[in-house]
Amino acid sequence: MSAPTQIQSERRVLRTISGNKGLQIEEPLIFEQGMKGRSGVDLPAVPPHKDRLGALKRKSDIGLPGLSEPQVVRHYTKLSQKNYAIDMGVYPLGSCTMKHNPRLNEKVARLPGIGDLHPMQPISTVQGALELIDQLAHWLKTLTNMPAVAMSPAAGAHGELCGIMTIRAALLAKGDARKRILVPESAHGTNPATAAACGYEVDPVPADDRGRVDLAAFKAKLGPDVAGTMITNPNTCGLFENDIIDIADAIHEIGGYFYCDGANFNAIVGRVRPGDLGIDAMHINLHKTFSTPHGGGGPGSGPVVLSAALAPYAPVPYVVHGANGFDLVERNGSAFGRLKGFHGQMGMFVRALAYMMSHGSDGLRQASGDAVLNANYILAGLKDEMTPAFPGTCMHEALFNDEFLDGTDVTTLDFAKAMIDEGYHPMTMYFPLVVHGALLMEPTETESKDGLDRYIEVVKGLAKRAKAGDAAYFKGAPYHTPRRRLDETLAARQPVLRWKPEAPKKAAE
Amino acid sequence: MSEVRYSQEHEWVKLDGDTATIGITHYAQEQLGDVVFVELPEIGKKVEKGKELAMVESVKAASEVYAPVSGEVIEVNSTLTETPATVNEDALGKGWFAKLKVADKGQFATLMDEAAYNKFVEGLH
Amino acid sequence: MRYLPLTEEDRRAMLAAIGVQSVDALYSDVPQTVHLTKPVDLPGFKSELEVERHIGALASKNLGTGSCPSFLGAGAYRHHIPASVDHLIQRGEFLTSYTPYQPEVTQGTLQYLFEFQTQVALLTGMDVANASMYDGATATCEAVTMANRVTRRSRAVLSGGLHPHYREVIETHGKFTGFEVTAAPADAKGAEDLSRLIDAKTSCVVVQNPSFFGHVHDLSDLAKVCHDAGALLVVAVTEVVSLGLVTPPGEMGADIVTAEGQSLGVPLSFGGPYVGLFATRDKFIRQMPGRLTGQTVDVDGKRGWVLTLSTREQHIRREKATSNICTNSGLCALAFNIHLTLLGEAGLTKLAELNHATASRLADRLSAIPGVTLFNETLFNEFTLALPKPATEVVEALARKRILGGVPVSRLYPGDASLANLLLVAATETVSDEDIAAYEAALKEVLR
């Protein structure tokens, strides 16, 4: 532990009686403020009825606290104030695509006739819902130039499962399940996890010194037991895989399939269509590219577009045009079956469609161009003070390694924590794994030039400060947050995963 | 007189008769950082040289501990389950993972001695 | 375009600073043959008003459960959501925040997830719960794969009272990831005996309580049979409000409890997004899928929260992870958390009583109609009726009278003629006495 800096000693002098610091207000758990019998919901009297629970009526208390509505509203308002959010400022988390979440999308998702639709209503009463899914599917298929889309996956990783299972179903139909899936070392962790979950051996492919898949190494690994490959494009280094068409041809030549992780589709929407690249399946994170809110970790939605070769192996359900309007196929005897309860993330579909319609074809193309322009502006602004991982321009995210911190005793993590005190969310750190001490910045199209200029000034200033030898400052950061660095070792060594009532204290002897 | 040898995967082995005590090296624990969890093999399990013997986890990483020699697990250091920090504090002593009854002592001789291992670690920087 | 702050002047200045001629030049790695030079064939941008009109027009073609008497269940339930729930989850600091990987700037999210985990553990009667899964079906499937890991076996036995979608999701995973599934036939009467299906290869038995057909079961004996055979008992709950009134699975010997959390705080929204709950025993913590929030302290010694035990997860363990899940259902977990906090012990208990009372009264009224038989001795807020004609026809006829009368069992079990006349009917606190009277009258007419 480093010696306390001057800032830390000042904090001690300024300690308040309550522990609060102005707008930063301490907030206990709901379990520490509840009272038995109190409730924030009024309900009518229970009418007389025949008890049909058998002997199964709950005998024990649940142990939930009782709070009134104003207490509840204050509790969650105070909690919300301990979060950083895209609504507050630059959130340059590379690979995560933190862009503006329009409130129109929230409004239309809550319309009567959408928010209150039950998934098992008669088909005749949900024609508008099926039409909406069909329209969104049309946008997705057109933007990707792919003939089919499976709408039900609940998130990106779920879409990966859908894609790899579809590939497996297609291969099994030929009586040839195969064994290996080629995955670049720079891949998201979900890729190898998905391939392994589907029973495939993960065969890692190295990156070349330009940050792309090493084509020669890729080709050398191909063989009749290779089921396919999972490649992110643009890749996790923020670069377009310029050999992608050769990669697709090579994998098809040995009878395998090309799965594309579409996490970075936002860089190329309206400019490059994955179907033109030879891709067989790709998930689209509606919560990244089409701006459904991340919500502190979900819910997401991950529709998977499919090539003609894979389309027959898609999961149920899907929408079709029937004799009496739209119909929903919930069972088709196909090889796949079902991946999720009900029909997919309708609430996210509505938001994504509203987002796409708002931009239109021209606006979506402008948005991807602006995202790439903003990332390159950051790269250009920081390249002299920091060390870009690869030469040249980038796509939608700028990647640096930690060479500029050599000899400073400041790590990528320390640097990120100092950004928090400056009012910014840190960039993605230590990912992709192929770059030492990686710092991955994705500004998205949401940021203005002024905002980026300020951001660049601050990050440059921090880099200068690190090089000037002020490591202790970085080691102690952040200083101005509701909580400072947290002890993750303690949390993992002695896991406390829930609140428990304190054991009654023994009377003093 | 027992002797300690080292593997390229940063395990150490101490041989007493046909009993091999196995742990991870000081360098390995340093690279991992604070050890938060150790998964030990079942007694009686037969492991082959180079195959997974145990698992060691820090906050941000999980690593396999490979058996540097083949054998049958006859004892495990169950104190590590409660106090995994021992691996950081005394990697080469109280932080041992398991004892194997060794089948082929010849495998031991193929491992590095201390001087060779130190040189090997130096070469990693 | 209202969402894009850059002006043409900004773009020119930025291109100059980068040292390229055009935005297209930044796409120089894209092979020329596939680089589009003009927008794809889709409509141009629309104003907020135009988008609202378009989606409003689609919405108006649907019959929402809020605008007519509705008795639909089968794994998704219409409950009243207090106004403050929807207000609070739309606070931008919750709505527009990412997964809490940086704990210093996400203590709000982490604290509510810790509260959520505690609420789920308390409700289910288990030791520990995770920070949510996609939905009930996928959570139950994750329970099966976890049981396979824990027992090192690979055959799951599924009750005929398990929601058919849950069964199908598990079957899909079994088929592609390599485990066996033995599914018992539909158990409409709630009388199945699963013990003969359990053997030395069985990793787990999956049952639903209350069952898909509405029956409430004591699972204690089944738990004993499972444990004697070295298998785990997985209990799925599709209606979490039932846990306010029914003995929790944890008190009946369950090893893993999964649930669909939609009933608390989450709108029906045509089937998603929902929130999967996942709870288990302390001894299985390291085999759990999904994110976990844990308590710790910061450098000043103050209590705080972090994501913990991450070495189970895909971003660290990659191909050896317990699950590939990454994004889960955070905001729905928050809605669940807030709704349940508003209810509290007293509120949830009373809400559950109201649900039971309403359904029990409805069961009395409908089963008194000539030709209609109630299949349930026990029920919580949903039950199975045998009708004198195919349930699909009846439901369509009721819909024409603007009553959403229930879910025909045949929609989920197509091809089984013996189930064609069965109808699943649910009644929550949103069903009024007038709704019950209207349903009774309409059903009499339709069956006449």
Co-location of A153 and A237 in the same domain:
yes
Q: Is pLDDT above 50 for A1? A: no
Model pLDDT for residues C253-274, shown as the tens digit of each residue: 999 999 999 999 999 999 999 9
**What confidence tier does A12 reach under pLDDT thresholds 50, 70, 90?**
low
**Cβ-based contacts of C310 with chain B (< 8 Å):** 59-60
Determine the Cα–Cα distance for residues C49 and A358; give it in Å rounded to an integer.
Answer: 10
Nearest CA in chain C to A2: C299
Co-location of A333 and A255 in the same domain:
yes
Model pLDDT for residues C191-248, shown as the tens digit of each residue: 999 999 999 999 999 999 999 999 999 999 999 999 999 999 999 999 999 999 999 9
> Which one is predicted more confidently, A245 or A334?
A245
CA distances (Å), origin B4, targets B109, B113, C44, C378: 10, 7, 73, 68
In a domain, A229, yes or no: yes
Looking at residue A509, its pLDDT comes to 40
In a domain, A51, yes or no: no
Q: In angstroms, what separates the C-alpha of B76 from chain A's closest C-alpha?
A: 19
In a domain, A143, yes or no: yes
Last residue of a domain, one of A358, A377, A407: A358
Co-location of A343 and A447 in the same domain:
no
CATH of the domain at A174: 3.40.640.10
Q: In angstroms, what separates the C-alpha of C157 from chain A's closest C-alpha?
A: 18
**What confidence tier does C323 reach under pLDDT thresholds 50, 70, 90?**
confident
**What confidence tier does A252 reach under pLDDT thresholds 50, 70, 90?**
very high
Q: What are the residues whose beta carbons fall under 8 Å from the beta carbon of C16, sequence distance 6 or more?
A: none
Four-CA torsion C332, A496, C313, A433, nearest 10 degrees: 110
Looking at residue A14, its pLDDT comes to 75
Co-location of A341 and A409 in the same domain:
no
**Cβ-based contacts of C311 with chain B (< 8 Å):** 37, 57-62
> What mean pLDDT, rounded, does chain C reach?
96
Query: Are A121 and C72 spatial neighbours (Cβ–Cβ below 8 Å)?
Result: yes
Co-location of A367 and A347 in the same domain:
no
Co-location of A327 and A462 in the same domain:
no
**What confidence tier does C311 reach under pLDDT thresholds 50, 70, 90?**
confident
**What confidence tier does B62 reach under pLDDT thresholds 50, 70, 90?**
confident
Counting every residue, how long is chain C? Answer: 448
Determine the Cα–Cα distance for residues A358 and A400; give it in Å rounded to an integer.
Answer: 34
Residue B91: count other Cβ atoms within 10 Å of its Cβ: 22
**Cβ-based contacts of C292 with chain A (< 8 Å):** 495, 497
**Cβ-based contacts of A488 with chain B (< 8 Å):** 59
Nearest CA in chain C to B55: C311
In a domain, A495, yes or no: no
In a domain, A303, yes or no: yes
> Which one is predicted more confidently, B63 or A395?
A395
Q: Is pLDDT above 90 for A7? A: no
Q: Quick one: tokens of C191?
A: 């009388």
Is the minimum CB–CB distance between A14 and chain C shorter than 8 Å? no
**What confidence tier does A366 reach under pLDDT thresholds 50, 70, 90?**
very high
Is the minimum CB–CB distance between C320 and chain B shorter than 8 Å? yes
Co-location of A315 and A177 in the same domain:
yes
**What confidence tier does B43 reach under pLDDT thresholds 50, 70, 90?**
very high
A18 class by beta-carbon count within 10 Å (0-12 exposed, 13-18 middle, 19+ buried): exposed
Is the minimum CB–CB distance between C317 and chain B shorter than 8 Å? yes
Q: What is the mean pLDDT of residues C267-291?
A: 96
Last residue of a domain, one of A358, A392, A412: A358
Co-location of A304 and A183 in the same domain:
yes
**Chain-chain contact of C310 with B59 (C-beta, under 8 angstroms):** yes
Looking at residue C324, its pLDDT comes to 84
CA distances (Å), origin B96, targets A94, B24, B52, B83: 40, 7, 16, 12
Looking at residue C14, its pLDDT comes to 98
Domains of chain B: residue spans and CATH: 3-102 (2.40.50.100)
In a domain, A2, yes or no: no
CB pairs under 8 A between B and C: 16
Model pLDDT for residues A290-321, shown as the tens digit of each residue: 999 999 999 999 999 999 999 999 999 999 99
**Cβ-based contacts of C324 with chain A (< 8 Å):** 157, 160-161, 190, 193-194, 197
**Chain-chain contact of C43 with A357 (C-beta, under 8 angstroms):** yes
Co-location of A434 and A287 in the same domain:
no
Looking at residue A6, its pLDDT comes to 56
Is the minimum CB–CB distance between B125 and chain C shorter than 8 Å? no
Determine the Cα–Cα distance for residues C97 and C103; give it in Å rounded to an integer.
Answer: 12
| Window 363-422 of A, Cβ < 8 Å to C | 363-367, 369-370, 372-374, 376-377, 379-381, 393, 395, 416-417, 420
In a domain, A246, yes or no: yes
Q: What is the mean pLDDT of residues A355-366?
A: 97
Domains of chain C: residue spans and CATH: 65-80+344-447 (3.90.1150.10), 83-338 (3.40.640.10)
In chain A, pLDDT over 70 holds for what percent of residues?
96
CA distances (Å), origin A334, targets A170, A281, B41, C166: 11, 18, 43, 18
Last residue of a domain, one of A309, A326, A358: A358
Dihedral sign computed on CA atoms, order A190, A191, A193, A195: positive
Co-location of A312 and A179 in the same domain:
yes
**Cβ-based contacts of A30 with chain C (< 8 Å):** 115, 341
CATH of the domain at A431: 3.90.1150.10
In a domain, A435, yes or no: yes
Q: Which residue shows structure tokens 């070469």? A: B123
**Cβ-based contacts of C174 with chain A (< 8 Å):** none
Determine the Cα–Cα distance for residues C209 and C248; give it in Å rounded to an integer.
Answer: 9
**Cβ-based contacts of A489 with chain B (< 8 Å):** 34, 36, 58-59
Nearest CA in chain C to A275: C34
Model pLDDT for residues B64-99, shown as the tens digit of each residue: 999 999 999 999 999 999 999 999 999 999 999 999
Q: Is pLDDT above 50 for A508? A: no
Q: In angstroms, what separates the C-alpha of A493 from chain B's closest C-alpha?
A: 5
Number of separate domains in chain A: 2
**What confidence tier does A503 reach under pLDDT thresholds 50, 70, 90?**
confident
Q: What is the mean pLDDT of residues A341-355?
A: 97
Nearest CA in chain B to C306: B59
Q: Is pLDDT above 80 for A33? A: yes
**What confidence tier does C325 reach under pLDDT thresholds 50, 70, 90?**
confident
Q: Identity (one letter) of the amino acid at C384?
A: T
**What confidence tier does B1 reach under pLDDT thresholds 50, 70, 90?**
very low
Using CB atoms, list chains with 3+ pairs below 8 Å to chain B.
A, C
Task: For residue A415, give its domain range.
Answer: 361-480
Q: Is pLDDT above 60 for C190? A: yes
Co-location of A329 and A454 in the same domain:
no
Q: What is the DSSP string of B21-62?
A: EEEE-HHHHHHH-SEEEEEPPPTT-EE-TTSEEEEEEESS-E
Co-location of A404 and A261 in the same domain:
no
**What ipTM is given for this predicted complex?**
0.97
Q: What is the mean pLDDT of residues A21-47?
A: 94
**Chain-chain contact of A361 with C96 (C-beta, under 8 angstroms):** no
Determine the Cα–Cα distance for residues C174 and B10; give it in Å rounded to an integer.
Answer: 38
